């Protein structure tokens, strides 16, 4: 597939790689699926794909092989792709001197691989895809500017191009590293690489650019310092070091002995941290504490900064096991940081292994893949320093391509494959073994010039030498370390050479007569840095010369050091011309005198010779002492070197400590600001609960001041309520487990108290106690709990859903109402509650909510879990997020099914009310019309007695009819409001059958109807109100008569069926229509009547029958056999086993003359009732208002007072209260009102009335009700 795709865009052959396929130019090779590919010896090698730490990284694998195969000619290109594959391989290409190009992430569809490559820091160019081809073309076709030498000669000696030398000098002056010690091939390739990347075609132009472009100089510097490292690089080698070196060192270590390790060329610190992990793991298994110090050094400061920071990406940690990552690294936003425990083991410091003094007393030194880039002299110098740094039996680990060279005899080979060596002995190496690397690029004399450049330059140098010989005084040039550099104009005559190893120390080479003067003069010149002259010197080899030493200091910028020119200024002695007298022998001197003089002369000679011998002996002793002093001096120099190394180490450690102190100071400031800014009151305690540190907030709670640090916390009072502080602190200290408590404070505040163990080196060294004010959180939590409880306990369904209709919350009311459990509903669409007919309307509501519009009282239909349709009232409110955007909605749904039914019932009740009012109007209008007609007839003159009696009979009959209508209405109201009072007793239902027949006999006769009676043949006892049961049966018989045609038969039977009395009334009427059969017992329901309402009634009779039956724990039902076939009404009452009551009813009589006061504002009622009561024997006085009635109480002194409650001035309640308060005589007070509910009765009795009666009042019933309350002197009983 990929081959076909690429074939559309290129004319090059696209091949699927096979094993050992020869790589040809102008071809594109694809890795087969599931395979890995490398290049070796110009062939592609294919293998099954493997995984490193669970990841397959075929691009990294190929790039590594490409770097090894092509070295500096390798070009790696990273294009669009996900992940980080390739980011590790390009590091290998960069280290080999190759080029890395990456596609610009802004042009990449997937920027994972380009970004991962850029983050490595080794990318040479970032381009869009169309420019990458051009860059590759330029890199491959550009001619090479510098000759690449393969010799190990110093770079300065392999070419004389001044631009090349200038580049080396710029690097040394800027970064302090002399790259002339590096192999010329490496330096040339790296400079050539930078030329190609910058598209510069002239070395001189590039050197000029480096003078002004510090960034490019830094890039060249980083390229020259080849740093390819990773964690546990060569894991087998690390495993061997762990088993054969680290385990042995730790097992043999003591707490007083510090283990010391040195990682030279550490780069970004991966190798140092890898070694530290192995040491840490081994220390964990050691029973006692062992101090460890790891020195990790490098010349590249930026790499050291990365290493000291200790933060690495997840990709950097790919070679570390997950257990070690979890143990030694802490996850941060920008990567993984080395744990503080591991970081404390390592000291990172800048150090040049060639120039700087080495560390000392090292147990282990690692310098891998650094020496291979240095020339042999520099390698020998570095190895000698490592030898000096190691203890006896100390271990040194070199790279796979590095050897010991001439220092092999000083080491034992511990592992030849991994180049691990052990120091044999502690011996001072000779100067030749230590190597000499003093010659730099600036020291170009006639010896420094290459053999290929003789010609004109050689002639110039020869002329310079002749001029120096002719005009230069005898002098020598030495370094600040006293090494001899050059001898001018015959100054060699002042130098001597001894047998044995030659030395370059000028003090050792100068004539002994001049040694002390020269040493003193040089010390003074070094100190003062000014010329020094020492005159008046003599040299035994030139006795005729007076010498004057002149020492002049110079600074060699090229070599970056001080040098000294020592001039020997020789002058001839100024001999004055003198006359020597010739001693002439006088005549007369005897030969004896001559002999005596000769003897004296001989004695003087012998004495002189003895003195000379003594001087020679003394000189030998002095020479011996001098040799001892020289030996001591060498020892002091060695000690001085060691002290310099120790001083360097101390300086490095001090710098690390200074950095640590700065970090700790900054960390302390950060901690102070953090503690103060978080508003978390904090106090730190030691194991004795003494205060170590506290914040201002907790100082207020515990009344602390800065001087209280060191005192126990229980020494102070605090305003935290119900806190056993010491017990709580002791509990946490013993359990080493954190504790959280919510505690109360002053002013009803609430705090979250947290007490945590304070760990130091995995040991609890104290406690940290914090107080966080959570008053507002507590209030919000309380309110939230209340609101949540309200929502959960609400009987309404409260649901939250997203704008797409997905349900998110579901309260208990929704579960009870709709039958779905919370877990069943959450996550499902809101439409599950909707019938298909309502989904469109719901989608419209969701759109309105999405626009931020609330929805109120939307009536809809939902389906319950059992598919039951429910009428719902829906209120929807939009929910907005932090950006004020509508993110969802909250719906409150209320089941209004019962409300809908109630509304239907109310509408039906209203309809019935209207029907009832129409019926009532009709029913009342007819009696009133008859009464008015009879009244008009009675007013006519000449009316005979028969006509008057008939008129009065009509009036009485119509009034009784009206009274029955009102009684029925009152009974229905009482029963409906549960206010009906039954006077129950055990009665024989069979004994009231005839009373019922008597009540309806008149109507049956009027309608010429027959009664088919079936009375019971045995007593049937029920517990009931005899009057109400009789009323129910009369209503059924009247109803049957009303709806049956004249001449028909009414069936009336009372029987026993099981444990019930069954009363049946059947008629022969039209029957009951099916549509009202279920409603026939409701108030005001009647079968259809004609407009003249010939059958009359208000539809209350059957309602009373049902209410009375149900009040007696029974029931009533109706059966209709069809139109014209009549109906049967059946009452069922439970029988009782209790015996019947035998109490007999008694009559009453009123003694004539009983005084009765009637207070009534209605004139007609007052006159008629007063006249009726007078006919029954009362002496009646009347009043038409309350005030008049009170006056009549005092004047008339009644025994009985009948008071209307609704009086015009003061009501009957107030009148009764005044009577009871002001009249001491016993008076029977009877309240009369149109209100008959229980509360009306209770209010009358509490006002002082003895009895409460409801209008209209029958005078006979009134007299019967009064009689039992009258005393023996007021009324008699019969």
Lowest mean pLDDT among 70-84, 612-626, 1191-1205: 612-626
Lowest mean pLDDT among 634-638, 751-755, 784-788: 634-638
Maximum mean pLDDT: which of 486-495, 542-551, 579-588, 730-739: 730-739
| Predicted TM-score (pTM) above 0.75 | no
> What integer is the mean pLDDT of 484-510?
80
Helices marked H in 1049-1119: 1101-1111
The answer to whether the beta carbons of residues 553 and 564 sit under 8 Å apart is yes
Q: Which residue has the higher pLDDT, 1229 or 9?
A: 1229
User: Quick check: 651 pLDDT over 60?
Assistant: yes
Alpha-carbon distance 577 to 1215, whole Å?
177
The answer to whether the beta carbons of residues 797 and 813 sit under 8 Å apart is yes
- Supply the pLDDT for residue 302: 81
Report the SS3 class of residue 743: strand
- Supply the pLDDT for residue 1089: 46
Give the Cα-Cα-Cα angle 1197, 1200, 1204 (nearest 5 degrees).
105
Q: Report how far apart, in Å, the C-alpha atoms of 505 and of each of 446, 493, 547, 560, 878 are.
A: 22, 16, 21, 20, 95
Q: Report how far apart, in Å, the C-alpha atoms of 1115 and of each of 967, 1013, 1028, 1081, 1103 are.
A: 22, 21, 14, 11, 12
Report the SS3 class of residue 422: strand
> What integer is the mean pLDDT of 478-506?
81
Pairing of strands 292-298, 311-312: unpaired
Lowest mean pLDDT among 536-550, 932-946, 966-980: 966-980
Residue 1229: closest CA among 1180, 1168, 1154, 1158 = 1158
The answer to whether the beta carbons of residues 968 and 1098 sit under 8 Å apart is yes
Report the SS3 class of residue 1206: coil
- Supply the pLDDT for residue 848: 85
1148-1277: CATH number: 3.40.50.2300
User: Quick check: 929 pLDDT over 60?
Assistant: yes
Helices marked H in 1012-1073: 1026-1042
The answer to whether the beta carbons of residues 437 and 378 sit under 8 Å apart is yes
Residue count of the chain, please give it.
1278
> What integer is the mean pLDDT of 733-760?
85
- Supply the pLDDT for residue 1096: 47
Over residues 1052-1086, the pLDDT tens digits come to: 999 999 889 999 999 988 888 776 766 677 765 66
Over residues 131-170, the pLDDT tens digits come to: 888 888 877 776 655 554 444 444 444 444 677 778 878 7
Alpha-carbon distance 367 to 382, whole Å?
10
Q: Is the peptide bond before 1256 cis (omega within 30 degrees of 0)?
A: yes
- Supply the pLDDT for residue 420: 92
Over residues 329-342, the pLDDT tens digits come to: 998 887 899 998 89
pLDDT > 90: percent of the chain: 13
Reported CATH class of domain 910-1134:
alpha beta
The answer to whether the beta carbons of residues 1249 and 1229 sit under 8 Å apart is yes
Lowest mean pLDDT among 389-393, 517-521, 849-853: 517-521
pLDDT tier, 1133 (very low <50, low <70, confident <90, very high otherwise):
very high
Sheet holding 475-479, edge to edge: 484-488, 475-479, 561-572, 542-556, 532-539
> What integer is the mean pLDDT of 260-277?
92
- Supply the pLDDT for residue 1148: 61
- Supply the pLDDT for residue 485: 85
- Supply the pLDDT for residue 1198: 92
Alpha-carbon distance 1178 to 1193, whole Å?
16
DSSP secondary structure of 486-519:
EEETTGGGGB---SSS---BHHHHB-HHHHHHHH
How does the average pLDDT of the chain come out, rounded?
79
* Spatial CB neighbours of 390, under 8 Å, sequence gap ≥ 6: 362, 363, 365, 396, 423
Alpha-carbon distance 73 to 193, whole Å?
10
Structure tokens at 537: 């010197």
- The helix (H) or strand (E) run that includes residue 101 is strand 99-103
Q: Report how far apart, in Å, the C-alpha atoms of 69 and of each of 62, 97, 101, 145, 226 are.
A: 10, 12, 18, 23, 18
Q: Report how far apart, in Å, the C-alpha atoms of 545 and of each of 53, 142, 574, 641 are.
A: 84, 67, 10, 40
DSSP secondary structure of 1142-1187:
-PPP--EEE-TTEEEEEE-S-HHHHHHHHHHHHHTTEEEEEESSHH
CATH assignment of 232-434, among 1.10.600.10, 3.40.50.150, 3.40.190.10, 3.40.50.2300: 3.40.50.150
pLDDT tier, 1277 (very low <50, low <70, confident <90, very high otherwise):
very low
Alpha-carbon distance 1070 to 233, whole Å?
112
Residue 973: closest CA among 1052, 1084, 894, 871 = 1084
Residue 1061: closest CA among 1129, 1137, 989 = 989
Is-same-fold flag (232-434; 910-1134)? no
Residue 1039: closest CA among 1025, 1052, 1057 = 1052
CATH assignment of 457-572, among 3.30.450.20, 3.40.228.10, 3.40.50.720, 3.90.1200.10: 3.30.450.20
pLDDT tier, 652 (very low <50, low <70, confident <90, very high otherwise):
low
Superfamily of domain 794-867+876-895: PAS domain (3.30.450.20)
User: Quick check: 348 pLDDT over 60?
Assistant: yes
In the chain, where are the structural domains located? 150-224, 232-434, 457-572, 594-663, 678-777, 794-867+876-895, 910-1134, 1148-1277
- Supply the pLDDT for residue 1182: 94
- Supply the pLDDT for residue 1215: 92
> What integer is the mean pLDDT of 106-134?
85
Alpha-carbon distance 1030 to 1, whole Å?
104
For residue 191, the 8-state DSSP code is: H
- Supply the pLDDT for residue 920: 62
Lowest mean pLDDT among 58-67, 581-590, 770-779: 581-590
Report the sign of the C-alpha dihedral through residues 1176, 1179, 1184, 1189, in that order: negative
- Supply the pLDDT for residue 1162: 84
User: Quick check: 641 pLDDT over 80?
Assistant: no
Over residues 409-449, the pLDDT tens digits come to: 889 999 988 999 999 887 766 545 555 554 444 333 333 33
- Supply the pLDDT for residue 663: 84
Alpha-carbon distance 1133 to 1113, whole Å?
7
Over residues 568-620, the pLDDT tens digits come to: 888 754 433 333 333 333 444 555 665 666 666 766 766 777 777 778 777 77
Q: Which residue has the tokens 């539809």?
A: 1099
- What are 4's strand-pairing partners? none
Q: In the 3-class helix/strand/coil scheme, how is 632-665 assigned residue by residue?
A: HHHHHHHHHHHHHHHHHHHHHHHHHHHHHHHHHH
Lowest mean pLDDT among 50-59, 254-263, 319-328, 462-471: 50-59
pLDDT tier, 261 (very low <50, low <70, confident <90, very high otherwise):
very high
Alpha-carbon distance 334 to 312, whole Å?
8
- Supply the pLDDT for residue 648: 57
- CB-based burial, 616-629: b 16+ in 10 Å, e otherwise: eeeeeeeeeeeeee
Residue 388: closest CA among 427, 432, 436 = 427
User: Quick check: 894 pLDDT over 80?
Assistant: yes
The answer to whether the beta carbons of residues 401 and 318 sit under 8 Å apart is no
User: Quick check: 312 pLDDT over 60?
Assistant: yes
- Supply the pLDDT for residue 970: 65
C-alpha 951: how far from its chain's center? 99
- Supply the pLDDT for residue 583: 33
User: Quick check: 256 pLDDT over 50?
Assistant: yes
**What is the phi/psi pair of residue 261, to 5°?**
-125, 145
The answer to whether the beta carbons of residues 107 and 129 sit under 8 Å apart is yes
Maximum mean pLDDT: which of 61-65, 999-1003, 1199-1203: 1199-1203
Quick one: CATH architecture of 678-777? 2-Layer Sandwich (3.30)
- Supply the pLDDT for residue 328: 93
């Amino acid at each position: 597939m990929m081959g076909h795709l690429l074939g559309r865009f290129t004319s090059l052959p696209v091949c699927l790689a096979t094993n050992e396929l020869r790589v040809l130019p102008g071809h594109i090779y694809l890795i087969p699926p599931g395979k890995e590919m490398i290049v070796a010896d110009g062939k592609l090698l294919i293998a099954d794909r493997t995984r490193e730490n669970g990841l397959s990284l075929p691009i990294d694998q190929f790039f590594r092989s490409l770097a090894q195969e092509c070295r500096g000619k390798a070009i790696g290109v990273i294009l669009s792709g996900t992940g980080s594959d390739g980011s590790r391989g390009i590091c290998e290409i960069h280290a080999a001197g190759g080029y890395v190009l990456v596609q610009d992430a802004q042009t990449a569809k997937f920027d994972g691989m380009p970004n991962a490559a850029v983050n490595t820091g080794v990318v040479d160019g970032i381009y869009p895809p169309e420019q990458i081809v051009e860059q590759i073309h330029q890199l491959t076709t550009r001619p090479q500017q510098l000759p690449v030498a393969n010799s190990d000669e110093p770079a300065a000696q392999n070419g004389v191009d001044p631009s090349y030398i200038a580049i080396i000098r710029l690097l040394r002056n800027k970064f302090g590293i002399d790259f002339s010690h590096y192999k010329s091939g490496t330096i040339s390739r790296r400079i050539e690489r930078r030329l190609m990347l910058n598209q510069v075609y002239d070395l001189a132009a590039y050197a000029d650019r480096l003078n002004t472009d510090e960034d490019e100089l830094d890039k060249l510097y980083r390229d020259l310092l080849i740093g390819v490292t990773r964690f546990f690089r060569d894991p087998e080698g690390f495993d061997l070091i762990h088993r054969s070196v680290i385990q042995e060192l730790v097992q043999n270590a003591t707490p007083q002995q510090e283990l010391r390790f040195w990682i030279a060329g550490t780069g970004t610190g991966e190798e140092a941290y890898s070694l530290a992990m192995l040491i840490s793991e081994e220390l964990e298994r050691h029973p006692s504490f062992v101090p460890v110090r790891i020195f990790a050094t490098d010349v590249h400061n930026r790499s050291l900064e990365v290493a000291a920071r200790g933060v690495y990406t997840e990709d950097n940690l790919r070679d570390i096991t997950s257990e070690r990552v979890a143990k030694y690294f802490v996850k941060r936003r920008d990567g993984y940081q080395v744990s503080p425990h591991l970081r404390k083991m390592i000291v990172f410091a800048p150090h040049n292994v060639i120039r700087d003094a080495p560390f000392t007393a090292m147990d282990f030194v690692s310098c891998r893949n650094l020496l291979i880039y240095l020339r042999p002299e520099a390698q020998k110098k570095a190895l000698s320093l490592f030898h000096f740094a190691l203890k006896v039996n100390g271990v040194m680990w070199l790279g796979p391509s590095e050897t010991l060279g001439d220092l092999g005899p000083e080491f034992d080979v511990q592992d030849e494959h991994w180049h691990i060596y052990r120091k044999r002995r502690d011996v001072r190496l000779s100067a030749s073994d230590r190597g000499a690397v003093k010659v730099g690029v600036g020291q170009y004399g006639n010896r420094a010039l290459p053999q290929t450049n003789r010609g004109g330059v050689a002639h110039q140098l020869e002329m310079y030498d002749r001029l120096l010989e002719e005009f230069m005084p005898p002098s020598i040039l030495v370094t600040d370390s006293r090494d001899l550099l050059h001898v001018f104009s015959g100054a060699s005559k002042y130098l001597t050479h001894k047998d044995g190893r030659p030395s370059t120390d000028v003090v050792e080479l100068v004539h002994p007569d001049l040694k002390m003067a020269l040493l003193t003069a040089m010390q003074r010149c070094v100190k003062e840095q000014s010329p020094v002259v020492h005159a008046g010197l003599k040299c035994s080899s030139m006795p005729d010369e007076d010498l004057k030493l002149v020492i002049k200091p110079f600074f060699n910028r090229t070599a970056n050091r001080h040098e000294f020119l020592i001039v020997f200024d020789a002058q001839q002695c100024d001999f004055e011309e003198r006359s020597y007298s010739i001693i002439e022998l006088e005549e007369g001197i005897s030969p004896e005198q001559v002999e005596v003089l000769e003897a004296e002369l001989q004695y003087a000679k012998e004495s002189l010779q003895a003195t000379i011998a003594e001087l020679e002996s003394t000189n030998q002793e002095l020479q011996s002492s001098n040799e001892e002093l020289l030996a001591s001096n060498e020892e002091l120099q060695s000690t001085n070197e060691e002290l310099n190394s120790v001083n360097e180490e101390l300086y490095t450690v001090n710098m690390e400590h200074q950095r640590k102190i700065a970090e700790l100071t900054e960390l302390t400031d950060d901690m102070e600001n953090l503690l103060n800014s978080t508003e978390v009151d904090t106090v730190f305690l030691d194991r004795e609960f003494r205060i170590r540190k506290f914040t201002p907030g907790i100082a207020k709670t515990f009344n602390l001041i800065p001087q209280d640090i060191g005192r126990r916390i229980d020494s102070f009072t605090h305003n935290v309520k119900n806190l056993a502080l010491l017990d709580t602190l002791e509990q946490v200290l013993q359990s080493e487990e954190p504790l959280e408590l919510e505690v109360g404070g002053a002013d009803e505040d609430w705090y979250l108290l947290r007490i945590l163990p304070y760990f130091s080196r995995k040991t609890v060294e104290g406690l940290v106690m914090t107080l966080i004010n959570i008053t507002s959180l507590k209030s919000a939590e309380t309110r939230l709990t209340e609101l949540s409880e309200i929502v959960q306990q609400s009987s309404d369904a409260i649901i939250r859903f997203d704008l797409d209709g997905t349900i998110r919350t579901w309260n208990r009311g929704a579960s009870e109402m709709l039958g779905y459990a919370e877990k069943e509903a959450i996550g499902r669409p809101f439409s599950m509650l909707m019938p298909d007919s309502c989904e469109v309307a719901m989608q419209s509501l969701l759109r309105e909510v999405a626009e931020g519009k609330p929805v109120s009282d939307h009536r809809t239909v939902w389906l319950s879990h059992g598919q039951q349709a429910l009428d719902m009232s829906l209120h929807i409110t939009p929910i907005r997020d932090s950006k004020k955007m509508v993110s969802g909605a909250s719906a409150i749904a209320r089941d209004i099914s019962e409300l809908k039914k109630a509304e239907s019932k109310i509408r039906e009740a209203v309809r019935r009310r209207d029907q009832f009012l129409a019926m009532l109007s009709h029913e009342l209008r007819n009696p009133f019309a008859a009464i008015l007609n009879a009244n008009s007839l009675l007013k006519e003159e000449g009316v005979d007695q028969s006509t008057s009696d008939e008129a009065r009979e009509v009036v009485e009959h119509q009034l009784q009819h009206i009274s029955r209508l009102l009684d029925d209405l009152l009974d229905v109201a009482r029963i409906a409001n549960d206010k009906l009072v039954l006077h129950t007793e055990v009665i024989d239902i069979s004994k009231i059958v005839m009373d019922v027949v008597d009540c309806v006999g008149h109507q049956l006769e009027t309608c010429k109807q027959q009664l088919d009676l079936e009375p019971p043949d045995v007593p049937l006892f029920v517990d009931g109100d005899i009057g109400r049961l009789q009323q129910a049966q009369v209503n059924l018989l009247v109803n049957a008569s009303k709806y049956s045609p004249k001449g028909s038969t009414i069936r009336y039977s009372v029987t026993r069926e099981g444990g019930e009395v069954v009363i049946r009334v059947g008629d022969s009427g039209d029957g009951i229509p099916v549509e009202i059969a279920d409603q026939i017992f409701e108030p005001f329901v009647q079968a259809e009547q004609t407009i003249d309402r010939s059958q009359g009634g208000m539809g209350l009779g059957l309602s009373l029958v049902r209410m009375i039956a149900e009040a007696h724990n029974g029931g009533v039902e109706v059966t209709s056999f069809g139109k014209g076939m009549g109906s049967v009404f059946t009452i069922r009452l439970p029988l009782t086993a209790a015996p019947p009551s035998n109490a007999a009813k008694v009559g009453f009589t009123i003694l004539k003359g009983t005084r009765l006061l009637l207070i009534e504002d209605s004139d007609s009622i007052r006159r008629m009732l007063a006249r009726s009561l007078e006919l029954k024997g009362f002496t009646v006085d009347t009043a038409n208002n309350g005030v008049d009635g009170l006056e009549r109480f005092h004047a008339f002194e009644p025994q009985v007072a009948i008071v209307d409650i609704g009086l015009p001035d003061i009501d009957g309640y107030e009148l009764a209260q005044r009577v009871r308060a002001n009249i001491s005589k016993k008076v029977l007070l009877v309240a009369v009102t149109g209100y008959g509910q229980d509360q009306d009765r209770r209010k009358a009795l509490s006002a002082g009335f003895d009895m409460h009666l409801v209008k209209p009042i029958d005078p006979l019933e009134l007299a019967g009700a009064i009689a039992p309350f009258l005393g023996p002197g007021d009324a008699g009983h019969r």
